[in-house]
Amino acid sequence: MTKFTDLGLSPEVLKAIAETGYDTPTAIQEQAIPVALTGLDVLGIAQTGTGKTAAFTLPMIERLAAGRSRARMPRAIVLAPTRELADQVSEAFEKYAKYHKLNWALLIGGVSMADQVSKLDKGVDVLIATPGRLLDLFERSKVMLNGVQIMVVDEADRMLDMGFIPDIERIFKLTPPTRQTLFFSATMAPEITRITQAFLKNPVRIEVSRPATTAENIRQFVYRVPGNNALNAAKAKRIALRAIISTLEIKNGIVFCNRKTDVDIVAKSLSVHGFNAAPIHGDLDQALRMKTLDSFRKGDLTLLVASDVAARGLDIPDVGHVFNFDVPHHADDYVHRIGRTGRAGRSGEAYLLLSGADEKNYDKVLKLTKKEPETLSLEVDFSALSEDDTRQSSRDRKPRRGEKEKPAKAALKAAPVAESPPVDNDSVLVSIEDAPKRSRRRSKTEKPADTLEPVTQVEAENYGWHVPAFLLRSVNQK
């Protein structure tokens, strides 16, 4: 078996690697490091979890070891699609370059521009940046790119998703054609192929297989929940999720949801029920996201509830459990999600909650992974799903001919609740619908759930959520 010592790395780098506890390179590291050390371009087709960050960081450190940085002229740039990913690359430099006199700077949104500029003025060897922020500083003449010897593009497929390809193309053109390029992408969409053909010079193509399609060390389970509409299926899923988690011994786990609103609701619901959980998604403040991630990495937070975009590329080692609150729209994302567990040969478990609405996406997942998850047999008490929840909501019903698309909106405006201050619907849903029985409060005028009149579905303005009117009223009466 190949060891790190076989790859042509210096004693300083090997010492830093040994201190991280790794002794065996991953497939992408084994193949990419010797090539990158020679100065050739690399086209790495690998996804997160394969160890690709070290695959480009280690040879960069070696190749930059000789030479000095100059003010505003980085010798290398690493382009990452998200701030979190850029942050992780910087952490990799911190780990692996500790015995080298190299310096690096992060150029990401949400961090003080003045600090970043003052670092650049002093001279940095490696600039780790998101494309927009880099171009922004370039346009203000705070950074020059004509001294770049190595350019890394990390997660190019994510860049494509986020519309960064024109920025990447511009940055390529601003760097000298003599540079070495290390380019990584999980997939090779036509647009990505075009970029690599235009800007890479005879790259050595290195492809590593998807971890999830081969990972036998991940046990996959599926649990089908009752419910015939989006609202009660979501509630049934929250009940099932709690029941499943309660049966497990969890060191740390990630709960994935398709939608940001669900990320918030599920995280709140879990917290209300006494689980140590917090949300992470793109709408949350950057500082808060970093803080949440940090406490998850340290083990202070047990359950991270995340959206796919927020979680993609996050360096979270050794996750024991993955929970799929729903089936992602892209089967690829399922592979990414469950690839969060069972890393580096460890064992892991992935749970999937399935409702009728998920079936179509589930078929796509089965086609891709060619592996049917085991059906989880677990007695779950769904009695909290009241009769009202099983009625078909107006959200799921197609409007009849002549009926307005959103009749409920008008009803909201006319009803007394329309004048109410904005209500946090997430907490309405969690605190009333989903809270433990002991903490439920009912106003004197409110009837018990089983004797309620048919529920009027209303859409709270700006929230996009359909909340039964009685829920809004009961909150306002508190």
* Residue length of the chain: 478
Minimum separation from the CB atom of position 63 to ligand AMP (A): 19
Burial class (CB in 10 A: 0-12, 13-18, 19+), 457: buried
Is residue 344 a contact point for ligand AMP (CB under 6 A)?
A: yes
Q: Which is nearer to ligand AMP, 50 or 116 (CB)?
A: 50
Applying CB under 6 A, the site for ligand AMP has a residue count of: 16
From the CB of residue 30, how many other CB atoms can be counted at a distance below 10 Å? 20
Which one, of 163, 129, 430, 191, lies nearest residue 309 by Cα? Answer: 163
Q: How far is the CB of 12 from ligand AMP (least distance, A)?
A: 17
Q: Provide, rounded to whole angstroms, the least separation between the CB of residue 406 and ligand AMP.
A: 43
CB of 283 to ligand AMP, least distance (A): 24
Nearer to ligand AMP, 48 or 261 (CB): 48
Report the alpha-carbon angle 442-443-449, nearest 5.
50
Shortest gap between Cβ of 458 and ligand AMP (angstroms)?
44
Burial (CB count within 10 angstroms: exposed 0-12, middle 13-18, buried 19+), residue 314: buried
Query: Is residue 45 a contact partner of residue 33, using CB atoms and an 8 Å limit?
Result: no
What CA–CA distance (Å, rounded) separates 323 from 338?
A: 8
Distance in Å, CB of 27 to ligand AMP, minimum: 10
Q: Using CB positions, name the residue nearest to ligand AMP.
A: 53
Considering only 9, 13, 16, 26, the residue that binds ligand AMP (CB under 6 A) is 26
From CA 311, how far away is CA 313, in angstroms rounded? 6
Beta carbon nearer to ligand AMP, 53 or 324? 53
- Work out whether 18 is an interface residue with ligand AMP (CB under 6 A): no
Identify which of residues 313 and 373 has a Cβ nearer to ligand AMP in the complex.
Answer: 313
Of 89-128, binders to ligand AMP (CB under 6 A) are: none
Amino acid at 213: T
CB of 44 to ligand AMP, least distance (A): 10
Q: Which two tokens stand for residue 255?
A: 């709960």
Structure tokens at 60: 């960069």
Q: Report d(CA 26, CA 50) in Å as an integer.
A: 7
Candidates 7-15, 21-29, 402-410, 428-436; binding stretch for ligand AMP (CB under 6 A): 21-29
Interface region with ligand AMP, contact rule CB under 6 A, candidates 18-26, 200-208, 277-285, 364-372: 18-26
Three-state secondary-structure class, residue 208: coil
First to last CA, the chain: 66
With contacts defined by CB under 6 A, name the span among 23-31, 59-67, 239-247, 281-289 that binds ligand AMP: 23-31
Residue 61 contacts residue 36 (beta carbons within 8 Å): no
Nearest distance from C-beta of residue 171 to ligand AMP, angstroms: 22
The pair of structure tokens assigned to 215 is: 């990972």
Smallest distance from the beta carbon of 104 to ligand AMP, in angstroms?
16
Question: Whose Cβ is closer to ligand AMP: residue 29's or residue 307's?
Answer: 29
Of 317, 399, 416, 436, the one binding ligand AMP by CB under 6 A: 317
Report if residue 299 touches ligand AMP, rule: CB under 6 A: no
CA distance 449 to 263: 26
Cβ closer to ligand AMP: 12 or 169? 12
Distance of alpha carbon 428 from alpha carbon 347, whole angstroms: 38
- With beta carbons less than 8 A apart as the criterion, state whether 125 and 104 touch: yes
Q: Which residues in 46-75 contact ligand AMP (CB under 6 A)? A: 48-54
Among 9, 13, 16, 25, binds ligand AMP (CB under 6 A): 25
For the chain, the helix, strand and coil percentages under 3-state DSSP, each to the nearest 5: 45, 15, 40
The window from 20-28, 119-127, 220-228, 417-425 that contacts ligand AMP (CB under 6 A) reads 20-28
Q: Which of 161, 315, 396, 446 binds ligand AMP (CB under 6 A)?
A: 315
In the complex with ligand AMP, the residue whose CB is nearer, 22 or 463, is 22
The C-alpha angle with vertex 134 and arms to 130 and 135, in degrees rounded to 5, equals 120
Q: How far is the CB of 86 from ligand AMP (least distance, A)?
A: 13
Six token digits for residue 105 = 């700077």
Whole-number Cα distances in Å, 243 to 236, 240, 302, 377: 11, 5, 16, 12
Contact residues for ligand AMP, defined by CB under 6 A = 22, 24-26, 29, 48-54, 315, 317, 343-344
